Structure 1
């Protein structure tokens, strides 16, 4: 499913559009510390000279940054939590490294075939096989880890969190931000030309409107498309718990009735929203 929670922008949209060639590119960068030394080692101009420690450090840095970027993209549009981001980076990096090791072992066995010719030919074949198999294996492993982490993050909600609002530069006013509770005229589901005044939780902001979940004070415990949301002070009139409709709606900024949020969505409820896939 598409991640709907978190600020506009970020890596979620790019991640969902990442095609197969993109994974091969990512696999190449992840496998770079193994692939490039193997290719250079088999080069007839510089046989068995290898790379300097500083050069290897650069290659490992490129590989680590690639894993970090993929881990950030796996979080979708939400703000990543640092420790979880580092853990996801380690998972993607470890998966790619294990795949490269397996591909290198396979390349060694294939290149040892005497039918390939003399030692120089076998070395060249070995380098080519490590490059191709290592890149493909790392890309596939990274893709599997990426989608597994992305699915886990959506289910648990631990990768994303409500973020604080940003100013709207053009008007100098606050835009509704993900995780906030606002008061707005929310369009009706059956007739979008009509709207009623409701509290709502902001899911995502866009250029001209915000995606929200409507809050109602009417008991909805019998409805599977609603969840209870504690009243953490945003409805000071009733002071009672409310219910959140798990149906995404689009509200133009002109239909928000206040210039500031009424409060923040409780963290536990936010995680439930993420898990629900509303």
Structure 2
């Protein structure tokens, strides 16, 4: 037990050391427009950034670093490209602000000390951006840490269609929106006599119950908040023939249902 505990602690220490170095490297890349001119000015004689290539490196490296942080922060949720670009711009701007703040606050005589303070400040700003984005995106995730996708079958607390209340049941996800999914209910009660249900094969999602299933069709999807999905992963995908029919006869969700 002691040996296993020591190994676990060592692994955590190594992981923490690597993560610290990673964020220092990101901070260095973001602070480059501040640290590099400072280094060049401290030379004898002083140097200056010249030419399009040097300027491209000086300002291109922070842009690439900020975009990398934004992409990594946004990987748990499906977001639009402009959102990723906006997040990258926020990382870039906040990193520059942090680097300039550190340059003014930690005016050490040694360039190395000044540069380390600037890199640490920019890296901390980028890390805080990552944490904020992750927490924001996690509002739109099911308990297991992912967002239900269209065509997937999940287990969730689905509201009744004709009265108040809800019930845990299987459902087909029709659309994924920022804070909720639009779903159609699946039932094991025989609905062959109704036009608003069709038979759903168990292939690909229910391999154990042996029950027949029916799914709603041609009805307004019901809105289910992501916190009402009871499992962390889907049961499977809707059989393709059924999914094609559901999409062909889909209608927009009723605006009164939240």
TM range (shorter): 0.5 to 0.7
Distance 2:63 2:126 in 1: 12
Distance 1:103 1:51, change over 3 A: same
Deviation at 1:56, TM superposition (A): 2.4
Deviation at 1:267, TM superposition (A): 9.3
Distance 1:265 1:240 in 2: 6
Q: Any gaps of 5 or more consecutive residues in structure 2?
A: 1-17, 170-179, 186-195, 198-214
Match of 2:115 among 118, 131, 135: 131
TM-score by length of 1: 0.54
CA RMSD of aligned residues (A): 4.1
Deviations 1:101-160 (A, max 9, x none): 11111233x43xxxxxxxxxxxxx1x2232111110100111112211222233368xxx
**Higher RCO by CA contacts (8 Å cutoff, separation 6 or greater):** 1
Q: Any gaps of 5 or more consecutive residues in structure 1?
A: 1-17, 112-124, 163-176, 183-199, 201-211, 273-278
Count of aligned pairs: 188
Deviations 1:60-107 (A, max 9, x none): 111011111111211133333122122111211111111111111123
Deviations 1:187-229 (A, max 9, x none): xxxxxxxxxxxxx2xxxxxxxxxxx445868679545989884
1:247 aligns with 2:230: yes
Q: Which residue of 2 aligns with 1:34?
A: 34
Q: Which residue of 1 aligns with 2:72?
A: 73
Would the aligned equivalents of 1:181 and 1:265 in 2 still touch at CA under 8 Å? no
TM-score by length of 2: 0.57
Larger Rg: 2
Q: Which residue of 1 aligns with 2:210?
A: none
